[in-house]
Amino acid sequence: MRRRVHHRGVILILLSNGRIIDYVTASGALAFDGSGWPHTRYLLGPLKFHDSSLFTVTLKTLTREPRRGNGYTKVLPLNQHGAVLSFWDFLFSPNKIAGFVNSVGLKNPGIDRATGKYPRMIKKSGLKVIGSLYADDLNDLVYMANKFNDWPLVALELNASCPNIPQRSREENSAFIIESARILAESSNHPLILKLSFDDDYLFIAKTLAKDNFIEAISMNSIKYSTVFPGLDSPFSHIGGGGVSGKLSRDYYYIMAKNIMNETDISLILPVWSEECIENWLLLSTINDHDISLSFGSVFIRWPWWPTAFIKRNGKDL
């Protein structure tokens, strides 16, 4: 029987190492060390509008070698029809924002450079942290797992579905994700979280890995622009199209969560855009008697103060 932990109606995820995942920040929302990007660290933090210590922070995804990504200005706000909003609408009409499309492309300094810098910063901060990695080569995966074994982590996330990285065929990609999860589970000292997208053959992958308990939770990635808006040209069509998150992806996340809950016992880390999202997730988890935690990602761009305000308002002490 699964062990369950309850917190004011929110069902939290208890990992095999005894650590708890509660309110999570999505990969990259608070940078590489969990303290946040400059506007969070130097403006919202001192004004008490943001507090990283209230979250289990998922760090920005790392790869073995440094990656330049796709340059600057690779996150754009969208309205409900998939059109890009103006800078003025973003600033002064946030209710028009239905989500974001991003094509950052896993820009990062590489695992070696990161290991020389961030673990000591995380230890000093005392934050609860989830590491995140991406690898398209199994040898790189093992190398990175060994590096992450020395990091002070709550868990390790395998980002297996970045929409801004060239993909294999659907069948080849599924086989590679499954093998990657198995190898990482064997190589890592940390509990494993698998990050999947609606665009993956997510149910086949989840059911296959559930048989041997290689993963302890599934988190959800953004969804290809072409999936959410078939027939429309993405503003990032010249660099792969990008991934959509926010309210625009909510229905896809719900279908994905419901299917996984119906077929497996794997805990889920579910994206949040509003309090309505939270209510829907709690209802779904109660109906299915399933362990979940809540993840704040692109909502940090829309309302960077809201996740902290929500947690403070709803209580935090376990």
| pLDDT for res 2 | 46
Q: What backbone phi and psi angles, to 5 degrees, belong to 5?
A: -125, 130
Q: Give Cα separations from 83 to 93, 225, 236, 298 (angstroms).
A: 15, 11, 12, 17
| CB atoms closer than 10 angstroms to residue 118 | 22
User: What is the residue range of 248's domain?
Assistant: 5-314
Tell me how far apart the alpha carbons of residues 294 and 10 are, in angstroms, rounded to a whole number: 9
Query: How many independent structural domains does the chain possess?
Result: 1
Task: State the CATH number of the domain containing residue 19.
Answer: 3.20.20.70
Q: Give Cα separations from 182 to 67, 173, 275 (angstroms).
A: 25, 14, 36
Buried/exposed 157-191: b ≥16 CB within 10 Å, e otherwise: bbbbbbbbeebeeeeebbebbbebbbbbbebbebb
Q: Which of 197, 238, 2 is nearest to 103 (CA)?
A: 238
Tell me how far apart the alpha carbons of residues 118 and 136 are, in angstroms, rounded to a whole number: 23
Tell me how far apart the alpha carbons of residues 75 and 104 are, in angstroms, rounded to a whole number: 7
How far is C-alpha 79 from the geometric centre of its chain's CA atoms? 22
Query: DSSP letter at 26?
Result: P
pTM (predicted TM-score): 0.93
Spatial contact of 215 and 193, defined as CB atoms under 8 Å apart: yes
| pLDDT for res 45 | 76
| pLDDT for res 161 | 76
Strands, sheet with 75-78, edge to edge from the N-terminal-most edge strand: 75-78, 99-102, 243-245, 223-224
- Print the SS3 string covering 40-98: HHHHHCCCCCCCHHHCEEECCCECCCCECCCCCCCEEEECCCCCECCHHHHHHCHHHCC
| pLDDT for res 180 | 96
Written as tens digits, the pLDDT of the chain (318 aa) is 344 554 444 568 999 999 999 899 999 899 899 888 887 877 777 888 999 999 999 999 999 999 988 876 689 999 999 999 999 999 999 899 999 999 888 899 999 999 999 999 999 999 999 999 999 999 999 999 999 999 999 999 999 976 655 567 889 999 999 999 999 999 999 999 999 999 999 999 999 999 999 999 999 999 999 999 999 999 998 888 999 999 999 999 999 999 999 999 999 999 999 999 999 999 999 889 899 999 999 999 999 999 999 999 886 543
| pLDDT for res 42 | 78
Tell me how far apart the alpha carbons of residues 95 and 179 are, in angstroms, rounded to a whole number: 42
